[in-house]
């Protein structure tokens, strides 16, 4: 009997094995899941808490699966990886084991409140019109171990930028968007995705400016009314630049100028 059919069967079995492993079904540690340890911050000293929940969604083909907060109770419109959304602790921290998933994950914060550095009062985080979430970030899960995650207004802007790029929410787009955020907000080579702000540093001052921006009363054409900064609405860049410049200088006592492009 010819050995070709046997070789073909072995090759087919090997291909199936590799396919299963690539989908997270193999035993290789490369395709194991990870534990996500994260923190939600408005600035270096201001965690988001008070009713905020963390929801994690699989990203497929560059598309996230945001929570539908237009219904009560909120419902997942895609692949929710957490067993329900989870809560942050008093420091805005959270931890979730995603042991059966390999790939990029969209992390969304729904609701929550924070003690605003701008107003010195408790402020609520309202859902962004485009995402039904208040803050967002993207993280790659896989290879076992623990991955650390920051969720801030700057990671939210990076997520919005990446989502608008060809291909959508890929890790390469997210990395490119984080570099763009650093450039737009004059932070040099700071990686806003992985580098936590420290009190009084350049990133912290930008976050103060965003808090001041969000605290401004909206006017008839004022972009805080549409949360355009966090959504990075490219149709409102001029207004965003002007409003953020004013907000940044007001809270930091500076004379900086921002011109978003």
Residue 132 lies in a domain: yes
**Residue 45, domain CATH:** 2.60.40.10
Task: Give pTM, 2 decimals.
Answer: 0.82
The DSSP secondary-structure symbol of 165 reads: S
How many domains in the chain? 1
Residue 126 lies in a domain: yes
Q: What is the spatial distance between Cα 99 and Cα 69, in angstroms, rounded to a whole number?
A: 27
Residue 218 lies in a domain: no
Contact call for residues 209 and 242 (beta carbons, < 8 A) = no
Residue 216 lies in a domain: no
Could you tell me the residue range of the domain that residue 169 belongs to? 30-189
Residue 97 lies in a domain: yes
Contact call for residues 141 and 36 (beta carbons, < 8 A) = yes
Residue 161 lies in a domain: yes
Residue 88 lies in a domain: yes
The overall average pLDDT reported for the chain is: 81
Over residues 55-106, the pLDDT tens digits come to 898 887 666 555 444 544 444 455 778 777 888 998 999 999 987 788 899 9
Whole-Å CA distances, 10 to 4, 14, 23, 161, 253: 10, 6, 20, 45, 70
Which of 34-38, 171-175, 177-181, 214-218 has the weakest average pLDDT? Answer: 214-218
Residue 248, H or E segment: helix 237-252
To the nearest 10°, the Cα dihedral for 110, 115, 121, 126? -10
Residues 197-207: what's their mean pLDDT?
A: 98
Residues 241-261: what's their mean pLDDT?
A: 95
Nearest to 51 by CA among 126, 116, 102: 126
Nearest to 134 by CA among 218, 208, 214, 78: 214
Over residues 220-238, the pLDDT tens digits come to 455 565 668 998 988 889 9
- What's 72-140 look like in SS3? CCCEECCCECCCCCEECCCCCEEEEEECCCCEEEEEEEECCEEECCCCCCEEECCCCCCCCCCEEEEEE
Residue 62 lies in a domain: yes
Over residues 137-167, the pLDDT tens digits come to 999 998 889 999 999 999 999 999 998 899 8
Higher pLDDT, 70 or 117: 117
Predicted local confidence at residue 224, as pLDDT: 60
Tokens representing 158 are 């990076």
Residues 37-54: what's their mean pLDDT?
A: 90
Predicted local confidence at residue 143, as pLDDT: 83
pLDDT of 123 over the 60 cut: yes
Higher pLDDT, 218 or 54: 54
């Amino acid at each position: 009997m010819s050995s070709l059919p046997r070789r073909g069967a072995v090759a087919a079995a090997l291909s199936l094995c590799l396919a299963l492993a690539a989908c997270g079904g193999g035993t290789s540690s490369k395709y194991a899941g990870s534990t996500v340890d994260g923190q939600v911050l408005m600035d270096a000293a201001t965690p988001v808490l008070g009713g905020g929940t963390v929801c994690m969604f699989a990203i497929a083909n560059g598309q996230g699966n945001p929570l539908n907060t237009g219904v009560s109770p909120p419902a997942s419109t895609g692949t929710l990886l957490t067993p329900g959304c989870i809560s942050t602790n008093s420091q805005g921290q959270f931890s979730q084991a995603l042991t059966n998933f390999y790939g990029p994950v969209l992390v969304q914060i729904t609701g929550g409140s924070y003690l605003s550095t701008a107003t010195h009062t408790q402020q609520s985080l309202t859902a962004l019109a485009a995402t039904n979430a208040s803050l967002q970030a993207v993280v790659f899960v896989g290879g076992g171990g623990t991955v650390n995650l920051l969720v801030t207004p700057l990671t939210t802007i990076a997520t919005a930028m990446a989502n608008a790029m060809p291909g959508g929410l890929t890790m390469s787009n997210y990395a490119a968007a984080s570099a763009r955020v650093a450039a737009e907000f004059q932070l040099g080579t700071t990686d806003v995705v992985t580098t936590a702000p420290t009190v009084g540093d350049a990133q912290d001052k930008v976050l103060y400016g965003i808090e001041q921006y969000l605290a401004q009363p909206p006017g008839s054409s004022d972009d805080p009314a549409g949360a355009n900064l966090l959504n990075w609405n490219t149709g409102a860049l001029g207004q965003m630049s002007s409003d953020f410049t004013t907000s940044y200088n007001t809270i930091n006592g500076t004379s900086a100028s921002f011109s978003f492009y």
